[in-house]
Chain A
């Protein structure tokens, strides 16, 4: 898919530039937590790492088999794939300080 291609591209970018953020957010449909998580994440990204990130949002309800593959338990879940180390952030991402800590971004 187009999305996938872009994903690959982003991955390559990440290799080139270590400060490029590759993020994946797992949500469950249009639940309140999920909606808040999407909004919160977009806000943070736009504010702190604008133009320096790629974000994939996965609706677990659409791809149920992914739940076991990705060790999903608590949702919403944000995985920071790059830069390493990989980090997992659960919750609606409303605690900005913790999100930034989890992503390894220093507050400016």
Chain B
């Protein structure tokens, strides 16, 4: 009907990638292009670094030169400060990709004598932008103006004008602001910058600090609303999305053997699913590490690259201990298939651990990894933090097509149904190893608590660690249920004895039957003999009778012939 052209191509908000690890993921593309973004946070929360990284990535990776206007630090100080993160500002400045400008306002040197405006700043900025064709601008921290100049009414009006002017200039701007009491910034900059507001936070819990980033506002765009932990290390800022927005990992039907043939059999015959996550939990000393070691050994034998993350023992300890059960991990290290990464959980915060893991996984590209044990991580974070960390880790690993095995210590026998980290619902397969205490000894029992998407055994299997490796003993049912350990052995002995005895009894009976048969057979023979002689006797008299009869008949004929007188 209508002849109007349908306007199907909606103009979406144009975004510019920040280049900061993970941030573009949660902002679905980056910061709003050509608009100001406010980055606020407490002192030392990483605002300057955030802004600098935005500029450096722009200059280095996206061909967008940038201006850094520093109100607090001098250019030289700034250059030195960010050099520790691998940003060579000197070089970028020489290439005219970045320009630093330090604005210094010393209140004691200044006398205010009437009406003024910030034209000086505008001209300066405009000149800098035009001189290198800047596309990105950072104002760090513009609120310093308020301490240098006293006329707030003028300043506020001028800031409003500045942000409008920056929009007209079509530069993407980051404005940093110190967090104030009850407001996002001390001077309420959020009033002027309304397109995108990012809050950086820095919390210390249990003496371990966590940095958190939250997008408070992003006009015209979807964005993750959670608090995202982030890290500052030698590679700059990395934001770690708590969970990816989607659950769309590819599911593999391929299997990966566990290294314990009997366990594979319990898992529908061929082991775990590839790219799945496996939890091995159990009380202390139940052989969790041995299961993990066997698994990684098998993977290496099958030519899969693997990483062993150890949080409790040193690699040497693990290698030595595994050797005692006939698993040689050293040869896999030598062949380059296996890498160890050992760290104390308390060495760094959880985020650092997660980052360390993801970094190594990215670098080494393994197919299988083991985390042994995850329980110790709880010493550096609360249970919910550990859970969120593991959620993200599992998420990440599934995305990276890695099969992962966690081991977890169950502190309390009663709590075996629930791991302390509460991740049992996240994993695809859960093996539980537990002590079975009876008759004054402890034995290990293993069972498959769950294994998604496959038929699996419901039996508790006794699990034996021997010099030859790990072995699952066949289920042994005694008169009083499943038997384990020496009770099982005893019962086995008892049964073996009874078998021998029964065998013996059976053979004796057999012989007697044989004898009876022989006796019977000889009796039968005698009877047959008797019968034959009787038969013969009877036959004899019969023949005699026949003979007698024929002789009599002959005689009668002769007599008759004689009477007739024919002779």
A residues contacting B by CB (< 8 A) are 26, 28, 31, 33, 36-37, 40, 60-61, 64-65, 67-68, 71-78, 86-95, 98-99, 101-102
Contact = CB atoms under 8 A, between A and B. Distances in A.
A74 B113 contact: no
B123 A95 contact: no
A16 B101 CA distance: 36
Interface string B81-123: 0000000000000000000010111000111111111111101
B113 A93 contact: yes
Contacts of B115: 33, 36, 91-92, 94
Given A67-B127, A73-B105, A93 B119 contact: no
Given A68-B101, A89-B113, A98-B111, A74 B118 contact: yes
15 contacts: A31-B117, A33-B114, A60-B123, A61-B123, A68-B101, A72-B124, A74-B118, A75-B117, A90-B113, A91-B113, A91-B114, A92-B113, A95-B113, A98-B112, A102-B111
A72 B127 CA distance: 13
**Looking at A26, A73, A94, which has the most chain B CB atoms within 10 Å of its CB?**
A73
Contacts of A76: 116
Given A71-B103, A87-B109, A60 B119 contact: yes
A92 B101 CA distance: 26
Contacts of A78: 113
Given A64-B126, A64-B127, A68-B101, A75 B113 contact: no
Interface residues of B, number: 25
B128 interface: yes
Give chain B's interface secondary structure class: mixed
Contacts of A77: 116, 120
Contacts of A31: 117, 119
Contacts of A95: 112-114
A75 B119 contact: yes
A31 B126 CA distance: 18
A92 B151 CA distance: 13
B145 interface: yes
Q: Which of B103, B112, B145 has the most A CB atoms < 10 Å from its CB?
A: B112
Given A64-B126, A67-B123, A91 B109 contact: no
A93 B101 CA distance: 28
B378 interface: no
A47 to B, nearest CB: 15
A36 B120 CA distance: 17
Given A87-B111, A88-B110, A89-B111, A28 B116 contact: no
B109 A68 contact: no
Shortest 4 CB-CB distances between A and B: which pairs? A72-B120, A91-B114, A94-B114, A102-B111
Interface string B123-140: 110111000000000000
